[in-house]
Structure 1
Amino acid sequence: MPLVSTGELVSAAAAGGQGVAAFNVITLEHAEAIAAGAERAGRPAILQISENAVKFHGGRLTAIAAATAAVARASDAPLSLHLDHVESPGLLRAADGEGFSSVMFDASKLSYGANVAATSEAVVWGHARGIWIEAELGKVGGKDGEPPLGAHAPGVRTDPAEAVAYVRDTGVDALAVAVGSSHAMTDRTAALDHELIGALRRAVPVPLVLHGSSGVPDAEIRQAVAAGMVKINVGTALNTAFTGAARAFLAADTKTVDPRKYLVPAREAMTGTVAAFLKVISG
C-alpha cells in the first residue's frame, strides 16, 4: 500500500473522536513489528524515526528511512512516515525526499521567543514542500536521561492561553503538550491532567499530541483520547517488550549465536505490544 500522509491519518482520527498511534522505529525489526501489529489490529499507524535514532545510525537518515518506508509500503495497513524530535535544521531539511509527510520540529529547549521564531521558519519550509509540522510547548520530561516530571510541577504544564498564541504565531499543524506524561517510562504509572487536556482541546485549534505514552495506563489513554488528544506517541514500551523477549531467550539458551533465533520472539513480542496499544488508542 502506498504511504499515507500523517496529516490524513490525524485528521481522520480527530474527525472520528479517536486517536492514532505513532510508534518509534530504531531498527528494521521495529518497523516490521509496527507494520505487523497494525495489520493484526486492523488499524492505521504512524512510523516515526527520531533524531536520536538517526544518531544511532551514524547520523545518516537515508538508510533507516528507506528501510522503514519499504516496510510500510509492503504492508496492508495504512501507514505514514514521520520524523520525530528534530532539533537540527539540517536533519529537518533532510526529510525532504525521504518519504516523510510530517516532522516534529522540537525547539522546546529554547526560550519562548526563540522557539516561536525557529518553529515558524520550520513551518514555512515544511509547508512549501507539503510537509506537516508538529511542535512542542511545555516540557515533557524523561528524554535523554532527564527525570520524569509531574503534571503539576511548576513551569512544566502547557498553558492554554500560551498554546493559542503559539499555534497562531507559528502556524504549526499539531501541538505536543505537557500534561503529565514522561518519556522513557518503563512502568505504566503516569497520571495525566485531564482537566488541562480538556482546556487545551477547547482552546487550541490544531490536533493535540501526547508524548511519552508508554508510561500511561490504558484507562488514562482512553480518557485522554476522549478528552481530545489525537496523536499518541509510543516508544519505550516497544523496547521493553523486545528486550524482555530477547533477554528471556538468551537466558534459557546460552549457546545460541544466530541473532535470528532471539530476534524472532523479540519482534513478535513487539508486534503484540503494538497491536494492544492500537486497540486502546484507536478504539
Structure 2
Amino acid sequence: MSDNQETLLGQIFLYAYAKKPSNLYSYSEYLPQYIATQLLVWEVIAGQRDAQFNRISNGYTPVKDVLNNFKNAEVCKQVKNFYESYEKNIKTGSKEVSFAYKKDSLAKENALKCGSDGTYTFTDKNGQLNNFDVTVKDGSVVSKSATQLKVKAEANKLITMKQNNVNASGERCGMLVLTNGSNNQTITKLQADPRDYYAAVKGVENGSLWIKKSSPDDNKVEGITFHITGNGIDGDYTTGKDGYIRIPGLKPGTYKVSEKTSSIYTNVRDKTVIVEAGKTAYVLFVS
C-alpha cells in the first residue's frame, strides 16, 4: 500500500463511518453508512482515487455499477447519499489552510508582520478555518471566519490550528479487511488523519514620526519645541537646524502633537497623527 493510499484511507476514516455494525448481514440504521464507507475504501485500494480524491478509471468495476446492482432500492438510495456526502466532505476537508505550515519551524521562518493596529490578520484562500480550533501562545483570537483569522499576540509567538471535526478522543480508526464470507484477514488498522497546522507572528514593528516646522516661504525653522503625547509618550522635542524633529521607535497608534507657544508663533493648533507599524508619519507646521 502506498503512502498516498494510507493518507486517503485516513481521511475516509476521519470523514466517513469508521465503526462496524453489530451485524453485517441484517439491516440497521448504520449499515448504509458502513457500506458507503467501504465503497470509498475499495476505490482507494483499487487505485480509483487520485491524491485529490478525484475518481479515476483504471479498468476495475466502478462504484456506480455496484450501486446499480443493489436489490433494495431504498438501501441503495441511502448508501448513495452517504457515499456522495462522505466524498464531498473528504474533498473539502482535505484542503490545506493556505497560509499555514505542517512544521512549526517553517511557520517561524515565514512569520507574519504586524498590522498597523497591532494585530495580525491571516487569510485562508481555501476557506478551511472553521474546521480548526486555534490556539495563540501568549495571545488571543480577535476574530475567526472560514477565510480569515485575526489574532493579537506577543512577538515571535506560534499559532496552532488543530482540526476540530474529530471525536472526543481526538482520533478515529478503521479496519481494512479482506473476507471471503467466512474468514477475515485484517490487512491493516489505520488511524484517521486529523491535521495540525502552524503559523507564526513577528514582533510588533514600531513606526516613526517626523515633524517639520517651516515658515510660509518654506524656510526651515530651528529651535521650536513641540509636546507629543500618546501610547506611553509624553515629552518635549525641539526642531533641529533643518527644521525637523525625528522620533523613531514609536508604538503604532494615535499621537497628539502640540506646538508650544512663543513670542514669534502664536495661535498654532494641535494636530493628531496616526503612526503605523513599519512606517513613518509626517506632520507639517507652517507659520
TM-score, normalised relative to structure 2: 0.25
- Larger CA Rg, structure 1 vs 2: 2
TM-score, normalised relative to structure 1: 0.25
Greater percentage in helix: 1
